[in-house]
Chains A and B, each alone.
Chain A
Amino acid sequence: MIRDITIGQYFPGNSPIHKLDPRAKLVLTFVYIVSIFFCKNFAALAISVAYLVFAVLLSRISLKLLAKSLKPIVIIVLLTSVLQIFYNDDGTVLFQRGWFEITTGGLVMAAFTTVRIIALVLASSLLTYTTSPTLLTDAIERLFSPLKKIKINVHSIAMMMTIALRFIPLLIDEVDKIMSAQKARGAELDTGSLLKRGQALVPVFIPLFVNAFTRAYDLAFAMECRCYRGGEGRTRLRVMKFCARDYVAFGVTIVCLAGIAVSNYFLTALI
C-alpha cells in the first residue's frame, strides 16, 4: 500500500549514531558515498562495507527495516548488474553461447555495481533513519550558511525543506483517504486506458491541492502568530556543538579512507 513507503522516514533511537552531530553525519555520509566509488579492488570494497556494517550495528536500526529501504531499488540493481554481465567482455570467458558470453570482468563489474548501489542507498537510509528531518535541515542550513555571503537565503530554503519533509507523510495519508472516498463514489482509478486513468486522477488531485493550500495558509498564520520572521536573529533551542563522539567518528572515517587508499595503491585495480 501507499503508506508502506519508508524513504525519508525517521526512527527515533538513542544509539551513538543517533546522537552524532547531524552536521557530522551529513558530511560523513557524503564523504562515504563518494569513497565507495573510489574502491578499485575487493580489499578496498571490503573495508568500505565493513565501515558501513559497523555503523549499521552501532545504530541498532533493525536489519529488516534497512532491507525495506532496498526494496525500491531491487530492479535497478538487477538491471545494471545484468547489463554489466552482458556488455563487459574483459577478462577470461567463462561461458559462451552465440553472442552471449559471461566473462570474469563482467562478473567483477556486476559485483562492484551491486555493492556500490546497495551501500549508497543503505548509507543514505541510515542518515535519514537516525536523524530527525528538523535536525537534518538545521544541519544543512548550518553547513551552507557561508552562502549567505552571496545573498542566498539559506534559512528560507532550509525552512522550506523542513516543511516539505513534514508534509510528505501527511499528503501521502491524504491521497490514500481521498482515493478511497472517490472509489466509494464509483471512480475507477486503476482500470482503463492511460488517458482515462489520467482523467480519473482529477477527482483525487483537486481536493489534494485545495487541502494542501488550506494547510499552507493555516501553517503560515500559525507561524506568524508565533512571531516567525525568518532566520534573522533567531536563536536555537539546541545549539549544535561538536563533541568527542563526533571527533571519534571523523577519526574512524579517516582510518577507513586511508585503508581504501592503501588498498588501491598497493593492490591491483580490478576496475
Chain B
Amino acid sequence: MPILETQNLSYVYGENTPFRVQALKDVNISIEKGELVGVIGHTGSGKSTLMQHLDGLVKPTSGKVLLEGEDINASKAATRAARFKVGLCFQYPEYQLFESTVYRDIAFGPHNMGLSMEEVDERVRRAADYLEIRDAWMEKSPFDLSGGEKRRVAIAGVLAMEPEILILDEPTAGLDPRGRAQIASLIEKYRVSTGSTVMIVSHSMDDIAESATRVIVMDNGTVALSGTVDEVFREVQTLAQHGLDVPQITRVFLDLRARGVQVRTDIYTEKQARRELVGLLRKEGVLQ
C-alpha cells in the first residue's frame, strides 16, 4: 500500500469570483515508503498547492488525500495527526523563525505534538545533528544567523517532528552553490539513515536528477509526466511543451549528439557525465 496517495484531487481558488482559478485538476499520485520523489513544474503549475493538500493545510474542492489508506480530511483529529506524520517545509522557511533561541525554535514543532520534555530535547538534538547545527548556535537568536544557517535551522524545525514523509518546497532556493550542495547532501543523508520518504519540489532539474528515485512533472494543475529520472528526462520534447528543460548536463550531451559526437544522451548527473566522457576520450585515444 502506498504511504501517501491522492485520488482525483481537484482544487479551485476563489470559486464564484472573477478571479476563479482551477489550481488542481484530477491529480492522482501515489508515493511508496522510502522514495525520494522530485516534483517539478514551472511557477503556477500547482505544485505548491498540491503540497499544501498533502499536509491537510488546504481542503480539496473534490477528491481525497489518503495517508496510509486513511482520508486526512475525514475529521479534525485526522488532519492534525496528518500534520505530524507529514512534515511540510515551505519555500524560504527562514521567514517562519520566531523564537528567542535556535533551540526553542526547533522545539516548537515537537512541543506542539505534546511530547515530554526529554523526548522534545532528544528530537531537537537529533534534528540539529542531521543539519549540522553547532551546539554554539543553540542559545543564539535565530535572527543573528546568516541566511544559509537560518535555512538549516528552519528545516531542522520540521525534521524535529520526525515526520514519516518530509516535503520540502524549493529547499535550496536563493542559496549560493555551496549552500545548495550542502542542503541537498544533508537531506539525502537524513533520508538514507532514517529510511523516511522525502518529496522535493523544485524547478531546478539538476537538483532533482541528482538524487530522486522518481520524478513527477506538474503542469497547469495536472500531472503531466511521472516516472524514474531516466523515463522523465528522456522526454525532451514533452518537457519543453510543459515549459521545462532537461538538466543542464543532459543539454550538453544532447547538443554534442546533435553535432555528430557519438555519446549517450541519457546522462543526468555530473558523475554519469564524467564516466561517459572519460570512456569516449579513451576510445578516441586521447586518454590512456
Contact = CB atoms under 8 A, between A and B. Distances in A.
Interface stretch (B86-94, B123-131, B256-264): B86-94
30 contacts: A4-B17, A62-B18, A64-B17, A68-B17, A177-B90, A181-B90, A181-B96, A182-B96, A183-B83, A185-B108, A185-B112, A185-B157, A186-B80, A186-B83, A186-B108, A186-B109, A186-B112, A186-B161, A187-B112, A188-B80, A188-B112, A203-B96, A203-B98, A203-B108, A206-B98, A207-B95, A207-B96, A207-B98, A210-B143, A211-B95
Interface string A34-73: 0000000000000000000000000000101100100000
Band of interface residues on A: 20 to 34
Contacts of B14: 4
Contacts of A211: 95
Nearest to B113: A186
Nearest to B84: A186
A81 B245 CA distance: 61
Interface of A: 4, 62, 64-65, 68, 174, 177-178, 180-188, 202-203, 206-207, 210-211
B96 A178 contact: yes
Contacts of A178: 95-96
A65 B260 CA distance: 59
B99 to A, nearest CB: 8
Nearest to B88: A184
Contact of B52 (A4, A68, A174, A180): A180
A185 B18 contact: no
A260 to B, nearest CB: 34
A64 B18 contact: yes
B90 A184 contact: yes
Contacts of A64: 17-18
Nearest to B58: A180
Interface in B69-109: 80, 83-84, 87-90, 93, 95-98, 108-109
Given A65-B18, A183-B83, A203-B108, 9 more contacts: A178-B96, A182-B96, A185-B96, A185-B108, A185-B109, A186-B108, A186-B161, A207-B95, A211-B95
